[in-house]
A and B are shown apart, each in its own frame.
Chain A
Amino acid sequence: MSVESVEDAPALSTPAAVGGAPAPAPRPWLVIRPRSGWAALDLRELWRYRDLLLTLAARDVKLRYRQTLLGAAWVVLQPLLGAGIFAFVFGLVAKLPSEGLPYFVFAYAGLTAWTAFQTTFAKASGCLLQNANLVSKVYFPRLVLPLSTAFGAALDFVIALAVLAGMLAAFRVPLTPAVLLLPVWFVLLMLAALGLGLAAAALSARYRDVQYILPVLLQLAMYASPVAYGVEVVPEAWRTLYQLNPLAGLLEACRWSLLGTSAPPAFAVAYSAAVAGITFVGGALVFRRAERRFADVL
């Protein structure tokens, strides 16, 4: 939205008119006018709406498992079941290596990080359609909607990590100092997910097919990333090409921090981090550019 905000304008303290003449116009608090092209992110306004951001995040968390039989247990059950399938298919049947760890733990760690990415991406991309009634009835910085989706994913991640901690204790897998870097990988992963989600959300406001393509692309991306298997099964000759997928570096880094598996090459991590940052900023800019039409096309 093309809005120029003038902070602390003395609109309400302007002296009253003298002698019946209208008061000289004070500086407006806000001027609404059409604007074209790219718009700045306006982080200050986002900060002013932080309560809404948190309230929406809380709403999503509360709503997700209301009226389900097992409630919040699904947060844990979903990756457990997924890891079980991977352990069976890739570990037991395909007999892929897992750096000496139980395949179940190996797959579970990868799936935890992947789930955080996938959930955020999917939720952020669908947030405009989901909240169309809000977008067409109330003003707030539209970025609040996709950003609020990251909180739920972060909460799930923390819960899944607690379960993983239990597994590590049971299988006597020691923690390494690399675990301290986990928050960094997680933030980068979220930035990438949000950046893609923002761009997809902007696109899906206009073109509804985006929501049908995304699940397919996500599935593809999962198998192109080291989630169900480790990078070591990728042939040496292909490895550099494989690392072009920025998720590869981040997911390997997560597994390294969690399980002490072999560290991804530094260049891959640096590359992934850079791509994640650029993706986020780019996605946010695309979103901001498209947002002035949201209310008209939703």
Chain B
Amino acid sequence: MSSSEIALSVRGLAKSYRIAEGRRRTTTLGEALVGRLRRPFARARGETFWALDDVSFDVRRGDVVGIIGRNGAGKSTLLKIISRITEPTRGEVALYGRVGSLLEVGTGFHAELTGRENIYLNGSILGMRRAEIVRRFDEIVAFAGVERFLDTPVKHYSSGMYVRLAFAVAAHLEPEILIIDEVLAVGDTGFQKRCLAKMGEVAQQGRTILFVSHQLSAVAGLCNKSIFLEAGKLRSTGPVHEVIHDYVESLSRQEGESPHKVRRAGSGELRFAAAATDKQAYKPGELIHLDFEVTRARSFHGKVAASFLVVSEREETVLHLDGRLVGHWVDADRLRPARMTIRGPWLKPGRYRVDAYLTTHAIIDKYEAAAFFTVLPILPYPYPTNDEAGMYGTVLADFEVNEGAPCNGTSQTSREAIAP
């Protein structure tokens, strides 16, 4: 199979949305009519927002392309145009094969219908011919593992069964170009692995896959090419690892903006002169160094504690790092730069703020938002899954699972005992 055949080519693709002035956008006929009567010749005003701006790239047959970028970068808009759900404002897409798109698992599933009925409904909505569904029916049912519940309305299914059935139908689509948007963000891990395997199979048959995910690890594991979109523009495209590298670089750069200095509370004899992490972005589990320096503003003697709070974007205090716990005190008479090393736990991907405190029995300096850093969206686990696995909990745990190990804690693979 030649890898040089083009599967799709995108040229100068752009999509704009008009954001109506202020909050107003006519959604009732009355408003629209009144508006028309008042200013019969006025063009609808408002800002134009380019969700996608002059994007061009080619995809060759058999490529599995991961589309990455932050929220609002235009990933979904791109997929929607290629899937023909919405139309571009400018530019064109040439498709050299039938497109099947999976922007959602179970599109058109109806709770009142049985599993069997939903297979036919969902299949034909996804573009399968009835004969095709009939031919692959048993395979779909077996893949989903819902044989016993075929004639039960899907509203009685567990959410796992529901997703398995929905994905099973989609996994049996046979388009030459398959478009997938975050659909791996549902379902249990075992089933996801089977779906990934099924997708790998599809790629080996020379079909082309376009795949959007927030999980860089899933993209890295599945795709050979990648496209990085930022604010509607194509930032980089090429082999997956190069593009992911560019993306991570840009994430770090963007998070490097200077932290807004907030007014400082506290009695003020001593002040943090600086507090900063050694890097702007970390992989989860990477060592985080926090460098800080204290200066004396007014006469002060004695020892104070340096204490730091690491706060997530949801204003959750994730870590409280108090120097006293590890025997560190700031001596007002011998001020020296210090470095705090944070080994664990693994922080979840996201942006974090560091609030720094100098305290004795009262607060001497309260330096909020002293530093910011980002934990990159790369899960430190060996198996790529979806966003849902690891969605709960404040931090990520370093853990593993063993079957058949004795329960009294003497298993060989269990972690070292807690250090004294």
Contacts and interface: CB of A to CB of B under 8 A. Distances in A.
Interface string A48-82: 00011011100100110011000000000000000
A63 B104 contact: no
A11 interface: yes
A67 B112 contact: yes
B28 interface: yes
B82 interface: yes
B27 A206 contact: yes
23 contacts: A3-B84, A11-B97, A12-B97, A25-B6, A25-B9, A26-B5, A32-B92, A32-B93, A33-B88, A33-B91, A34-B87, A51-B130, A55-B124, A59-B110, A62-B113, A66-B112, A131-B108, A133-B107, A138-B85, A139-B83, A139-B85, A208-B28, A209-B29
Contacts of A20: 4
A295 B125 contact: no
Contacts of A21: 4
B5 A32 contact: no
Given A20-B4, A292-B87, 10 more contacts: A17-B4, A28-B9, A29-B95, A31-B94, A55-B121, A59-B113, A63-B110, A138-B107, A207-B29, A213-B29
A150 to B, nearest CB: 18
Given A208-B28, A210-B29, A138 B94 contact: no
Contacts of A213: 29
Interface in B77-105: 80-99, 101, 103-104
B132 to A, nearest CB: 9
B176 interface: yes
A137 B112 contact: no
Contact of B96 (A29, A33, A59, A131): A29
Contact of A139 (B26, B101, B117): B101
Interface in A7-25: 9, 11-12, 14, 16-17, 20-23, 25
A295 B28 contact: no
Identify the interface centre among B9, B87, B104: most chain A CB within 10 Å of its CB. Answer: B87
A28 B107 contact: no
Interface of A: 1-3, 9, 11-12, 14, 16-17, 20-23, 25-26, 28-35, 51-52, 54-56, 59, 62-63, 66-67, 131, 133-140, 203, 206-210, 213, 292, 295-296
A207 B90 CA distance: 26
B285 interface: no
B30 interface: yes
B106 to A, nearest CB: 10
Interface residues of B, number: 50
Contacts of A3: 84
A137 B84 CA distance: 10
A96 B107 CA distance: 52
B29 A138 contact: no
B192 to A, nearest CB: 20
Contact of B117 (A26, A33, A59, A136): A59
Nearest to B84: A139
Nearest to B176: A12
B2 interface: yes
A209 B30 contact: yes
Contacts of A140: 125, 127
Contact of B4 (A23, A29, A66): A23
Contacts of A14: 5
Interface string B39-81: 0000000000000000000000000000000000000000011
A63 B121 CA distance: 12
A32 B97 contact: no
Contacts of B405: none
